[in-house]
Amino acid sequence: VEFLYCDLASMKSIRQFVQQFRAKNCPLHVLVNNAGVMLVPERKTEDGFEEHFGLNYLGHFLLTNLLLDTLKQSGTHSHNARIITVSSATHYVGKLHLNDLQSRCSYSPHGAYAQSKLALVLFTYRLQHLLTANGSHVTANVVDPGVVNTELYKHVFWVVKVVKWMTAWLFFKTPEEGASTAIYAAVSPELEGAGGCYLYNEERTKSADVAYDEELQRRLWTESCKMVGISDEGSRLP
C-alpha cells in the first residue's frame, strides 16, 4: 500500500496528484470516489466553490476525468476497469439548481448537501453513457452506503448528535458495513461489464426519477467542464 496525498477540495492538489500517479506508470483498475463533507456552514473551497458542491462533486468530477485515459488503458474486454462513486439516499430529495450551483441565492446546508449527492448520480449516468459510446472497457456505478456511524455527522444540531449517540448501535451501520456496497461494486464478478447502476445493500435499485433526465445530465456535465477547466468532449456525443 502506498499513500499519495490528494485534497479533493483543491483543483491544484487534484492535478498534482494525477501527475504523481501517472509518473508511476501504474495501471488503474478501480477508482472509488468517496470524499465528502456534510451539512457544513456556508463556506468556500480555495477555488471559490461552495464546499459541498466543490468537494463532494466537482473534486470527484475533475479527478475522474483526469484519470479516464489511464482507466481506459487498464480495462480489458474480460476485466473492465471500474469507477465507483459514493452518493447518498439524500439525493432523492435533492434539487439541481443549474443557475445557482453554488447556492449563492439562498444557502441551506441540507439543500447544498443533497444537491451535491444528486449531482454525483447524474454524473455517473452521463459518464457511463460516454464510456459506452466510446467503446471503453470501463464501467461507472454509484452506491448508497446507507446511514453509517462516522464523523460525517459532526456538523448536525446537538440534539441530533445526542440521539445519534444513543441509537447508533441500533440504527447505524458500522464503517465496515457502510463500505460493503462500494467493495461489492469494485470487485464482484456479478457486476463485470455492468455500468450505470445505483446500488444499495449490494443490490441494484432505482435512483431518483430526476437522475435519469438525460438533458439534465448533459447540461450538468457541460457546466462542470467549464467550472473545472477541462474540455467537454462529451458534448459532441448524443
Q: Which residues are catalytic?
A: 113
Rg (CA), the chain: 17
Q: Closest by alpha carbon to 137, among 66, 71, 232?
A: 71
Q: Which residue, chain included where needed, has cell 446537538?
A: 158
User: What totals of helices (H) and strands (E) does the chain contain, helices first?
Assistant: 7, 5
Helix (H, G, I), strand (E, B) or coil at 211: helix
What angle (nearest 5°) sits at the alpha carbon of residue 50, between those of residues 39 and 175?
40
Helix (H, G, I), strand (E, B) or coil at 231: coil
Q: Where are the alpha helices (DSSP H) in 24-142?
A: 51, 59-74, 109-133
Q: Which residue, chain included where needed, has cell 450551483?
A: 101
Q: Which residue, chain included where needed, has cell 509518473?
A: 23
Helix, strand, coil shares of the chain as percentages rounded to 5? 50, 10, 35
